[in-house]
Amino acid sequence: MSNKATGAAESANSPAEAAADADATQNAAETANETTGDAVVATDSGADEDKAAHHVSRRAAFGFAGAGLAAGALAAAGGYAAGGEDAPADKILDTYPFRGKHQAGILTPAQDNMFCAAFDVTTTDPEELKQLLSDWTVAAQQMTAGELIGGEPSENKQAVPRDSGEAWGYKPNGLTITFGFGRSLFVDSDGKDRFGIAKKMPKILSEGMPKFANENIRSADSDGDLLVQACSNDAQVCAHAIRNLNRIAMGTAKMRWSQTGYGRTSSTSVAQETPRNLFGFKDGTNNIKSEDGDAKLNEHLWVQKGDDSGADWMAGGTYFVVRKIHMFAEMWDNLRLIEQEQTFGRDKRYGAPLNVTAPTSGKDEFKPIDFKAKNKEGELEVPADSHIAIVNPEQNKGRWMLRRGYNYTEGSDALGRLSAGLFFIAFVRDPRTNFYPILDKMTQKDALSEYLQHQARALFAIPAGIGQSDTMVGQALFS
């Protein structure tokens, strides 16, 4: 194994062996997680003792119990460290299987924080690229299990630490790490095959994302060869994951752009309440859920065998589409409430569609939308150019997407205006049918677009889940 992954090397002889310890204890949980995203909750006492023995990470004795001083220090720093009370216990203890039919971090119940990063591969050697993916796989499996990279810290104080340490003593916090491949991993700007895999590039990547109205795309903050999405219920756990994968990549790939997010803007499970965006509205009510049946998920989310004869390695995977959308908060905040509600097509307090008379509870959010209902003046209750009228699946040939976006705030500009908005993420089987037409319609007809500007974008192929015997993510691509 390369020197970059010395942490992983000291805990296992190979990526497959490093994975084996966690795999042996998670097989049963994986089967359930493939469709429901159910978490494995680590616990230390009571009737769940046997369950804990299977699912608490190997560092439990050291990192969770023996590192009390470090945990206390981290808790004081404001994170969800062991013993802290900053987050509900179930969120702190959640873990999700790293290996399975599909990658985690898609149908998994959306966590509270996100850190995305795209990388450009700097090496020209295919073996070094595969070694990086192998090293990343080992490290990601350890971190998502709540472990430090390389296991217990070395007692040799003359050695470089195998893990940066800022998550030392932290519980898993539901960390998931999802990987993807961009068009430029397959071919360079001149169309030349980079790593001998150009013939396997999906047509969706080859065609690329079209341009849309009123966008102001920054190329430096867009695209990339490799994608890493880290999500958890603690921002520091997310940062730790990206930081260490970046460290491992040095000499083989460099970070192109990164984006942090907080306050998830969608729910991926019926057990989750619909969150609010930075305009104060519940958004994404009609989203694919983990509880949806296989028929719906296979039609709209998961790539099927035969979708692309040249890229059958993508079967079981999906496509990641992201748009960084700046929200003009100062303009929005000066609108009257009725204008805001008519722009979204929903009641601001309860999230009910405007055809619902006098909503009184959050349950009204899920009442059917009547796009033909009119008021006493003969006007549509839900305006034809309102956000929900433009993007609702019913208004778009029944096409669904799985939304998994996050809010972001990045300080302010020279005029004192907030630099904030939505990091919109969607997972779809085919963006040509389930995303591009809807976004095109939105940018041209949606009243909400007046208060938005799209500033960055990216499209990545997300391979299927990592199998029990796989040594790296995307192994089928390089077979």
Report d(CA 441, CA 422) in Å as an integer.
18
pLDDT digits (tens, 9 = 90+) for 70-116: 333 333 333 433 333 344 567 788 999 999 999 999 999 999 999 99
Per-residue pLDDT band at 39 (split at 50, 70, 90) = low
Q: Is 366 exposed, middle or buried (0-12, 13-18, 19+ CB in 10 A)?
A: middle
Instruction: Calculate the average pLDDT of the chain.
Output: 85
Which has the closest alpha carbon to 5: 146, 136, 147? 136
Per-residue pLDDT band at 289 (split at 50, 70, 90) = very high
Report d(CA 6, CA 162) in Å as an integer.
7
What the block records as the tokens of 116 is: 């995305």
What the block records as the tokens of 440 is: 């095109």
Residue-level pLDDT at 88: 55
Report d(CA 344, CA 385) in Å as an integer.
9
Q: Which residues of 383-393 are buried (b: 16+ CB within 10 A; e: fewer)?
A: beebbbbbbbb
Per-residue pLDDT band at 142 (split at 50, 70, 90) = very high
Residue-level pLDDT at 231: 98
pLDDT digits (tens, 9 = 90+) for 306-337: 999 999 999 999 999 999 999 999 999 999 99
Report d(CA 264, CA 111) in Å as an integer.
7
Q: One-letter amino acid identity for 65?
A: A
Sequence length of the chain is: 479
Q: Is residue 20 over pLDDT 50?
A: no
Report d(CA 192, CA 172) in Å as an integer.
42
pLDDT digits (tens, 9 = 90+) for 242-275: 999 999 999 999 999 999 999 998 889 888 899 9
Of residues 232 and 45, more confidence is placed in: 232
Ramachandran area for residue 317 (φ above 0: left; ψ -120 to 50: alpha; else beta): beta
Give the β-pairing of 253-264 and 406-412. Answer: antiparallel
Report d(CA 308, CA 202) in Å as an integer.
7
